[in-house]
Amino acid sequence: MTKTHDNNSISTIYNRRTDLTDDQETIIALCTPRGSGAIALLRLSGDNAIDIADRLAKLSSGLTLSSQLSHTIHHGFIIDSNVIGARPAVSVEALCEDWKEPLGRLEGCAVSSQEKIIDEVMFLLMRAPKTFTGQNTVEITCHNNQFIIEKIIDLAVRAGARSAKPGEFTKRAFLNQKIDLVQAEAIQEVIHAQTELALNKSMSQLHGTLSHVMSKIEAELVYLLSFIEASFEFLDEEQRDLDFNKIILDRSHALQKITRDITSQFSVQQQIKEGIRVAIVGIVNAGKSTLFNALVKQNRAIVTNIEGTTRDSIEAGMYKAGNFLLFIDTAGLRLTDDIVEQQGIERSFIQAAKADIVLVVVDPTRILTDTERHEYEKIVEQYREKIIVVINKIDEVTDTAIPVYNFLTNTQVLKVSAHHGIGIEDLEKVIEEKIQALFKQLQSPFLLNQRQYQVLTEIDQRLDFIVNGYQGGIHYELVAYQVKELLEKVSELTGKNVTEQMLDTVFGTFCVGK
Ligand SMILES: Nc1nc2c(ncn2[C@@H]2O[C@H](COP(=O)(O)OP(=O)(O)OP(=O)(O)O)[C@@H](O)[C@H]2O)c(=O)[nH]1
Ligand SMILES: [Mg+2]
């Protein structure tokens, strides 16, 4: 390696190789989240990732990374060999004294006066093709300091790498056929899953369950196509109509059932991905904010005896039994001329509609007006499945003094005192049961994203065309055309047949470093 003090000539020596395509160039990014934590992980991936790493690395063994075996770990330093005079270099001896380390471990690692140690790190060397991206990869574990991280990235860029774009590592894994597109997307889902169920499903997707079903659909379509095409050649018109129609219809029906099963629970699937929303609604002063605070275990919402204290929806989330629960306190329901408050009430209805579970809070210390009762009936009727009625302030009334309302029948009713913490644990249990019931509805083993849902819906529509078209006496040529189009759609889903633009859309949603 030629050394020089001149910045420009260094960049010329280590200029990025022009013979590599964009996807072969070496990229670098921080893979761990920014913020506090002891260590950070940077990943270099590309054809000459190991050579580039060698330009910043000084192994304590005194050897180079490129002379090492694949899948080995090495202790060493990140060195800036471009330090100009002014800054004195840190000697290994001085460093060892500083770190109270015996010199022996670092003996081979001589640092010249033109070099500066940036950090003590571990290098994980992995040669292609057995790596996540399928390319030569070096992972650097350094101390988690912003300046160190920036400096390492800067040095790598000066040595010929470039900063990775969002999702670029995963894109390369896809391009190098390490994973298909569905699996690439599953990585994103695994990272962002907010419930254990969502995590399990995206994990199995990552391991190829949805891809497996898609390849079965593909095989079935290929069969259908060859079947139709063979029929052109070998059979006369009459023979075809008798048996072939039925076979093609049956097979298309069966395929359609599979795609419908997969897509039918798309909206519930989205809910479990993002966590469970629990909205708290009811009249003013019923104790909604007090209940909200009791459930989220912190004094998050303001509680007063003034009606209409909460004017906007307030949210607080927590992890419980493997699920992310988002509690939403809402403005009390009442007829009001106050525009701000009216908007708040409208929002309570929107929240109830969006929620997976709605806690309808009743204040038994006062009788509901006719209008209020009507609002309660409306909500309970509309969302019966996801409602839990919570009679609050039971510390103030006896059982017999609790007003009787029609909407209390055929609904799950619990009595609590949010203020005194009575019945809260029981309520938490009932919420948990409701979540489990919600998850049970989710028979499909898959968690689709919007793109997959859209492609599967298009597949379903095309199958519909075949199934219904046949009954009206459709031409074989047209069916063959439809099946070919279907095959293309399936390839679009798994990524066998995708445009660069589609890939950009998929991977653009990833974070840098993934
Ligand atoms: N005795 C008793 N009082 C309660 C209980 N829960 C809430 N309160 C009181 O009821 C009043 C209203 O409580 P909030 O939690 O602010 O009621 P809210 O439903 O959020 O009211 P708005 O935001 O105005 O719609 C306060 O004075 C609370 O201390 C309870 O379990 N028992
Ligand atoms: Mg309130």
Is pLDDT larger for residue 268 or for residue 420? 420
At residue 507, does pLDDT exceed 60? yes
Residue nearest to atom 32 of ligand 1 (CA): 393
Half-sphere exposure of 28 (CA within 13 A, CB side): 27
Return the domain boundaries, the chain: 27-164, 183-265+448-507, 271-440
Q: Report the residue among 419, 420, 422 best suited for mutation to probe ligand 1: largest number of ligand atoms under 8 A from its CB.
A: 419
Q: How far apart are the CA of 356 and the centre of ligand 1, in A?
A: 24
Q: How far apart are the CA of 427 and the centre of ligand 1, in A?
A: 17
Cβ contacts of 82 within 8 Å, gap of 6 or more: 5, 7, 10, 155, 158
E strands in 231-288? 276-282
Q: Which CATH number fits domain 183-265+448-507: 1.10.1670.10, 1.10.10.10, 1.10.10.60, 1.20.120.430?
A: 1.20.120.430
The closest ligand to the CA of 304 turns out to be 1
pLDDT for 422: 96
Q: How far apart are the CA of 457 and the centre of ligand 2, in A?
A: 43
Which residue shows structure tokens 């990552």?
A: 206
Is pLDDT larger for residue 20 or for residue 141? 141
At residue 347, does pLDDT exceed 90? no
Query: DSSP secondary-structure letter at 244?
Result: I
Q: How far apart are the CA of 309 and the centre of ligand 1, in A?
A: 10
Read off the pLDDT of each residue in 490-510 and give the average, rounded to a whole number.
79
Tell me the DSSP string of 422-457.
BTHHHHHHHHHHHHHHHHHH---S----HHHHHHHH
CA-305 nearest atom, ligand 1: 27
Q: Report the residue among 290, 314, 395, 402 best suited for mutation to probe ligand 1: largest number of ligand atoms under 8 A from its CB.
A: 290
| SS3 (DSSP) at 119 | strand
Q: From 367, 408, 369, 414, select the one nearest 394 (Cα to Cα).
A: 414
Q: How far apart are the CA of 260 and the centre of ligand 2, in A?
A: 43
- Whether the bond into 129 is cis, omega within 30 of 0: yes
pLDDT in tens, 145-159: 999 999 999 999 999
CA-417 nearest atom, ligand 1: 31
Q: From 158, 6, 162, select the one nearest 83 (Cα to Cα).
A: 6
Residues with CB under 5 A from ligand 2 (ion): 288-289, 309-310
At residue 340, does pLDDT exceed 60? no
Per the CB < 8 A criterion, the answer to whether 486 and 251 are in contact is no
Pairing of strands 323-329, 27-30: unpaired
Read off the pLDDT of each residue in 428-432 and give the average, rounded to a whole number.
94
Q: Report the residue among 281, 291, 300, 303 best suited for mutation to probe ligand 1: largest number of ligand atoms under 8 A from its CB.
A: 303
Question: How many Å apart are CA 125 and CA 139, to the nearest integer?
Answer: 7
Q: Which CATH number fits domain 27-164: 2.40.110.20, 3.40.630.30, 3.30.1360.120, 3.80.10.10?
A: 3.30.1360.120
pLDDT for 4: 34
Question: How many Å apart are CA 279 and CA 350, to the nearest integer?
Answer: 10
Per the CB < 8 A criterion, the answer to whether 466 and 227 are in contact is no
At residue 66, does pLDDT exceed 90? yes
Read off the pLDDT of each residue in 385-394 and give the average, rounded to a whole number.
94
The structure tokens listed for 99 are 């770190």
Q: From 452, 441, 453, 370, select the one nearest 405 (Cα to Cα).
A: 370
Q: Class of 271-440 per CATH?
A: alpha beta
Q: Report the residue among 285, 338, 363 best suited for mutation to probe ligand 1: largest number of ligand atoms under 8 A from its CB.
A: 285
pLDDT for 9: 37
| SS3 (DSSP) at 275 | coil
The closest ligand to the CA of 314 turns out to be 2
Q: From 407, 492, 426, 417, select the one nearest 453 (Cα to Cα).
A: 492
Read off the pLDDT of each residue in 407-432 and give the average, rounded to a whole number.
94
CA-282 nearest atom, ligand 1: 19
